[in-house]
Structures are given as C-alpha cells and as structure tokens.
Amino acid sequence: MASTSTKVVDIHTHMYPPAYVDILTSRDTIPLIRKFEGAKDPRYIILKDELEALHKAAADGSAPSHLPGRPVTSHYSSLDQKIHFMDTHKIDISVISLANPWLDFVATEAASETAKSVNQEFSDMCAKHPGRLFFFGTLPLTVTPEDLLASISHIRSLKYCRGVILGTTGLGKGLDDPALLPVFKELAENKLTIFLHPHYGLPSEVWGPRSSDEYGHVLPLALGFPMETTIAVARMYLAGVFDKVPELRMLLAHSGGTLPFLAGRIESCIVHDGHLVREGKVTPARRTIWQVLKEQVYLDAVIYSEVGLKAAIDASGVDRLMFGTDHPFFPPLTSDEQGEWESMTWNMEAVKKALGDGSEGTKAVMGGNAVQVLRLYEE
Ligand code: URA
Ligand code: ZN
C-alpha cells in the first residue's frame, strides 16, 4: 500500500478548454453548446436522452428551470476556477481530463490536429501549476491507425501527461475490436494508463416513456453510465485483451460501473457456458476476471457511498482505488458553487467510513495510490 503520501489527489476531474468550447458552440447536432434567451449560462447538451428537451426548447421556448442539458459555468473551462475548487476542498493535485464525448464526433480530416491542440492546451494548463496539475490526454479515434499512433507519440512527449481518457466506442466497434490492439500495446509500452469513462449509456428505450419528462437525468447517469463501463470491460475481458496486452493498465470510472458487484456472476456464466467450454476457452490456466481486476485494473472512488466503495476495495484491493470528484459535473444546486461540493464530501466520507478516518488505507485512496500509480512525483 502506498502509505507514504498524505497528498489528496483528484484523478477524475474534467476541463473543457476554451478552444473545445468553441467547437461545441459552432455545432448544431449533439454534442453542442447553445445559448437560450433569459438563461444566465449557455447549456451543454450531450446525451441523446436530452434531444427531446432540446427540440422542445428550440420550438416553443422552455422555462429557465426546464432547459435541456446542463449550464456551462466558469467551472467548465476556467483554470483559475479549477484551482479554486482544489483549494476549497484541500486537493493537492488534480489529474485533469477532457470530458465526454471527447473527440468522438470530430471529422477524420480535423481530428489529429484537434487532438494535438487540445492535448497541448492541457499540457500548457499543467505547466502553469507545476506539481499541482497532471493530465490524461485525448485520442483522435476517427483517424487512421497510423495517425492514431502518431497522436500517442505526441501525448507521450508531453511532460505532465500520465495516460489517456477513453470512451467505450473505440474505433466504432467497441473496445474488444482487434484493430485496437496496437493502440493498447503502444499505450501500455509507454506506461500511459487508460482512464475509461462512459458517455453513451444504454438505448433510451430501456428507460421507458416517462423518463425524459419525469425523471431528469437520473437513469442515464446513475445507471446507464455504469452499465456502459461494465459492458465495455466485460467485452474486453471475454476477447482476451488483458491477456494479449498484459502491461495494459485501465482506470475505470465510477468504481468500475457494476463490475465489482457482478464479477462473480460473470465468472459463473463463463464456467457454465457450454459453447466456451467446448471451444477450450475455459482452462485451468485462464485468468479469472477477479485476477484481472487485481492485476490490470484500477478503480476510481467516485461512487458516493461506502457500500459501493467497499465492494470496489474487495474486488480490486485498497492499493488500486483512487479518489475523484467528477468536477465540474454535479454542482451544488442549493448552496454557493464557490463553496463546498457534495461530490467531494460524499466521496471522501465514503472512503473514511469504508477504511477509517486517518487510516493508511484512507491515505492511500485519497492520494497515495495515485501518486504511486500515475508517477505524480516524476517530472
Ligand atoms: N455527466 C457527464 O456527462 N459526464 C460526467 O463525467 C459526469 C456527468
Ligand atoms: Zn467524469
């Protein structure tokens, strides 16, 4: 366990640099940023489940309380605001990343250059606060395999970069696509950790006809996001990606979705699957998903309760959990945004309740693990 560091590190914290905000503002399909009359801040609309509300607001106007998406406050792109958030919550180091949907929507011709400038912008932000900021880079997934490898080469050269943030679509066929293996190998060889983050959720139909009007964003965010992560990693595991790239290291958002809870069921389904058994895929040498969780996977601690956190710790080990806030998402709605956020206090309380206030485990999860795993002491 990484017991020496008492630093508090936030490894799940996003930024939208101004140039990226400009791209979103110029678009008329999701993802987009749109201004609405009477609303203080522009709105950011990303989820397909928000489309209906967007069309409604565009057609007949919506009350400010019913506008689609989320407000784009200074928390999205101001570096000073990020540092203020860190200072307010006594966060020593943040590992910042572009938020969803990254560059997934950028046309092939523009994607490499856009990735280069976004990654450079992140690097410049980190350079303004040496030792306090590191980042996960962004990959241009719509480009050719050669250009994708060139982008990794650029990312690798950036002093404060410690990995890449990645969604679940890969090159369009998911993360179990064999065409992604060279990318995973290149990242692994360069010790660049993949921060796997959801965006697409599940098909809207599963939420039922009442969801978009009556249930806000609760179902897609609370359940769709974690299921998406769970499915993506289960597919990678079943495709043997972790065996093919044993040095690959993945940090899974939201404590691994539901993997810690469902790993036993995944194992049971594997050993009882006649097809897999007949194909010789269920051998004694097979690494179980439990082993992969303990050897190649890290989990963030963005789960808001000690119940889920304990499952994550049981599954991956206390030395593989890392604290995060998901700032600037989930701002306080009834108190000053410049003050305390529950994303900090709930997640920190969960760590203390699960591991004990002041314990070595708490120190490790709150920052020590991130310092070790992501080499936050190295320039
Ligand atoms: N909503 C998002 O779209 N992304 C996050 O990271 C969190 C909430
Ligand atoms: Zn996030």
| Mean predicted confidence (pLDDT) in 193-215 | 95
Q: Is the pLDDT of residue 63 over 70?
A: no
For residue 27, the CA-to-ligand 1 centroid distance in Å is 19
| Ligand 1 pocket mutation, candidates 10, 47, 73, 100, criterion most atoms within 8 A of CB | 100
For ligand 1, whether the C-beta of 46 sits within 6 Å is yes
pLDDT of residue 379: 67
pLDDT of residue 1: 55
Specify whether the CB–CB gap between 280 and 226 falls below 8 A: no
List CB contacts of 366: < 8 A, sequence separation 6 or more: 8, 9, 323, 348, 351
The domain that contains 279 carries what CATH number?
3.20.20.140
Q: Are residues 264 and 337 in the same domain?
A: yes
Residue 38, number of CB atoms within 10 A of its CB: 9
Q: Are residues 48 and 159 in the same domain?
A: no
CA-nearest of 109, 239, 72, 96 to 160 is 96
Q: Are residues 65 and 112 in the same domain?
A: no
Q: Are residues 121 and 25 in the same domain?
A: no
Structural domain for 238, as ranges? 9-17+74-374
Q: Are residues 28 and 119 in the same domain?
A: no
- Is the bond preceding 101 in cis, omega lying within 30 degrees of 0? yes
pLDDT tens-digit readout, 239-269: 999 999 999 999 999 999 999 999 999 999 9
For residue 295, the CA-to-ligand 2 centroid distance in Å is 23
pLDDT tens-digit readout, 137-183: 999 999 999 999 999 999 999 999 999 999 999 999 999 999 999 99
Q: Are residues 211 and 254 in the same domain?
A: yes
Domain presence at residue 217: yes
pLDDT of residue 51: 77
Q: Are residues 267 and 354 in the same domain?
A: yes
pLDDT of residue 4: 61
Domain presence at residue 1: no
Specify whether the CB–CB gap between 24 and 44 falls below 8 A: yes
For ligand 1, whether the C-beta of 45 sits within 6 Å is no
Q: Is the pLDDT of residue 61 over 90?
A: no
Q: Are residues 13 and 62 in the same domain?
A: no
Q: Are residues 25 and 143 in the same domain?
A: no
Q: In what order do the strands lie in the sheet with 43-45?
A: 32-34, 43-45, 70-71
Domain presence at residue 379: no
Domain presence at residue 2: no
| Ligand 1 pocket mutation, candidates 326, 327, 342, criterion most atoms within 8 A of CB | 326
Say how many domains are in the chain.
2
Q: Are residues 163 and 291 in the same domain?
A: yes
Q: Give the environment of ion ligand 2: residues with CB less than 5 A.
A: 326
pLDDT tens-digit readout, 110-122: 999 999 999 999 9
Q: Are residues 284 and 160 in the same domain?
A: yes
What is the distance between the alpha carbons of residues 110 and 116, in angstroms, rounded to a whole number? 10
List CB contacts of 110: < 8 A, sequence separation 6 or more: none
71, 94, 113: which is the final residue of a domain? Answer: 71
For residue 49, the CA-to-ligand 1 centroid distance in Å is 13
Which residue is it, tokens 């400010």?
A: 64
For ligand 1, whether the C-beta of 10 sits within 6 Å is no
**Model ipTM value:** 0.95
Query: Which runs of consecutive H residues, i.e. helices, occur in 239-373?
Result: 241-244, 259-271, 274-278, 289-295, 306-316, 342-355, 360-363, 369-373
Q: Are residues 154 and 183 in the same domain?
A: yes
pLDDT tens-digit readout, 230-245: 999 999 999 999 999 9
Domain presence at residue 4: no
Domain presence at residue 261: yes
